[in-house]
Amino acid sequence: MNRTHASLPLACAWLLTCLALAWAAPEPSAQVQKSDSKVKITTKADKPGADGKQVVTLTLAIESGWHLYANPVGNEDFADNQTVVAAVPKSKHEVLKVEYPAGKPVKDKTVGDYKVYEDTISIKAEVRRAKDSTDPLELNVKVQACNDKTCLLPATVKVKVD
């Protein structure tokens, strides 16, 4: 057998292996999940007062088996990961006060104790709409989702308030 014929089965095997690996590999976008894939946020708003102040209730439904870091998280190392409600940058509206629920305590001998949100929680935000503004009210909710094995990339969810 000459050299060309001997390497043909090897080349075919290599090609079939590459095709099988490419077919089985997840899409690049499927490899990187962000925290917003594990939480659904809905809003309910009171009518704005004459002074433009309005109370908005944000309900966060967190996927079973996952948690978000509470605010306050109770551990300096996780301060950047805690859930935060803020006005959308460059918005004419401002967030005056946010009432976060108490988080569930987690005892961890390795990293120290901290608090998390699980299941469904409600956050109340008092906002002031800009005077004479017709812009829709939008808020950003920064979240970090984790489970027992991994943490997803943080995400900021923009929510519209009707």
d(CA 103, CA 116): 5
- Omega prior to 154 cis, within 30 of 0: no
The amino acid present at 84, given as its one-letter code, is V
Encode pLDDT of 63-116 as tens digits.
999 999 999 999 999 999 999 999 988 888 899 999 999 999 999 999 999 999
d(CA 40, CA 126): 21
pLDDT of residue 1: 52
Evaluate whether 73 touches 103 at the Cβ level (below 8 Å).
Answer: yes
d(CA 87, CA 89): 6
Query: pTM to 2 decimals?
Result: 0.78
Look at domain 29-161 and name its CATH class: mainly beta
**Rg of the chain's alpha carbons, rounded to an integer?**
24
Mean pLDDT score across all residues of the chain? 84
Burial of 126 (0-12, 13-18, 19+ CB in 10 A): middle
Q: Is the pLDDT of residue 21 over 70?
A: no
* Segments making up each domain of the chain, as ranges: 29-161
